Amino acid sequence: MSLVDVQGVNLVPGIMARSSLNPFQSPTLLDANGELCGAVLRIPKTGNISKIGFRTGTATVSDAIKVSLQTVDEATGRPTGTLIHADAYGVQASVASNTTYWVSLQDDIAVTRGVRVAPVIEFNSFVAGNLNILKETSGFSSYGFPYSFKYIGSVWSFSGNASNFGLEYDDGVIEPITGLFPAVAGVTISWDTNDNPDRRGLRFSLPYNYRVSGVFGVIGLDGDADIEIYDSDGITIIPDGTISLDKDIRGRTNRACFVEPLKTPIELTKDTFYRIAIHPTTGTTIVIYALDVTDDGANEAMNAIDGGVNFHYTTCDSVPAAEGDWTNLLTRRPLIGLIIDQLDDGLPYNVVGGAEIVGQSTAGTVEGD
């Protein structure tokens, strides 16, 4: 097998590259009878859905919340009010502020891949509820589909921001859906070179061999900083794996996506963890941005965001002397990623006299056998 050029720019994880600014949740206030919000999407996998995930903003008065899966009106794109199955709903007795909930349906509901449905959030029986549902995550590309909606004050409105809901199946998988986040929270991370930890960034692994030609990240760069790419030992910075960022050389003074090529592309190995760390080099505060997920017990909600749980937050104070000097947080994803220009072609090869012969049997032939 060998690495071959891939056409165009390949950004991994892709959704992180499509972030224009830091992610933040758009709240929808529910404070009257009949008000609701939710999303319209296609079922990602044939199976049985057991739970729906959603996240609250400020909850002033907490009435019981009903979550359901409804059919979609093909003429209006709205939920119909009709459940896809009699048991396709669950009730959260009360809610707290800024909390993710995974609500069990009355029973596991059989669904078929590709069918349009609407997860809907509303009061189970309105008394005096006054609370916010974070129905969408702004800061990413707008979508024509899937999309979010709300019905407030007898008015329907729609949004192409990434919907902030999640679907969990009875096999424990919180299933990935492009354009849908599994009830995430946006996080702002600020620090300077005098803080502990002073290196913060992304730990990552991919299931194929590849070559990295650059990195990108959403950064508030009010001071100078270095991007450092660490080898699998967690100690060694890969040759030409340092990129210096100058606060005076940037297109805007607010947060923005920085796209930085490497002086020499780096070949990396599949199923191996590496790190991209941001290290401030002055006493001025810089900022990076991240998404946090709340797992449902042992289930890994991060796997519902492209890149999966193998792309997560990592920190270290000062120059690392051992892999154990790093602290990893699997439920946080910084908006940092890779520019990949070569991938493994996947072709088997033989070796004859030390030369690689591509495209033949994987059994291998060594001269003199």
Percent of the chain with pLDDT over 90: 71
How far is it, in rounded angstroms, from Cα 215 to Cα 307? 15
Q: Where are the domains of the chain?
A: 3-17+187-344, 24-183
Confidence of residue 226 (pLDDT cuts 50, 70, 90): very high
Confidence of residue 352 (pLDDT cuts 50, 70, 90): very low
| Distance in Å from the first CA to the final CA of the chain | 22
How far is it, in rounded angstroms, from Cα 203 to Cα 205? 7
User: ω into residue 197 within 30 of 0, thus cis?
Assistant: yes
How far is it, in rounded angstroms, from Cα 93 to Cα 63? 7
- Alpha carbon 152 to its chain's center: 29
- What's the token pair of residue 156? 């329907």
What pLDDT was estimated at residue 162? 85
Rounded average pLDDT over 143-159? 93
pLDDT digits (tens, 9 = 90+) for 186-206: 889 999 999 999 999 999 999
Confidence of residue 368 (pLDDT cuts 50, 70, 90): very low
What pLDDT was estimated at residue 19? 59
What pLDDT was estimated at residue 246? 93
Rounded average pLDDT over 49-72? 96
- What's the token pair of residue 130? 């006054």
Instruction: Classify 308 as helix, strand or coil.
Output: helix
What pLDDT was estimated at residue 141? 64
Is the separation of the CB atoms in 337 and 312 below 8 Å?
no
Is the separation of the CB atoms in 349 and 339 below 8 Å?
no
What pLDDT was estimated at residue 363? 36
For residue 160, what are the CA distances in angstroms to 121, 142, 149, 163, 304?
Answer: 18, 5, 9, 8, 19
For residue 353, pLDDT beyond 70: no
What pLDDT was estimated at residue 143? 81
Rounded to the nearest integer, the mean pLDDT of the chain is 88
User: Looking at the domain 3-17+187-344, which fold is it?
Assistant: Jelly Rolls (2.60.120)
Lowest mean pLDDT among 269-278, 316-325, 343-352: 343-352
Lowest mean pLDDT among 33-47, 231-245, 299-313: 299-313
Rounded average pLDDT over 153-158? 94
For residue 173, pLDDT beyond 60: yes
Q: In sequence order, which ranges of 41-125 are alpha helices (DSSP H)?
A: none
What pLDDT was estimated at residue 358? 36
Confidence of residue 369 (pLDDT cuts 50, 70, 90): very low
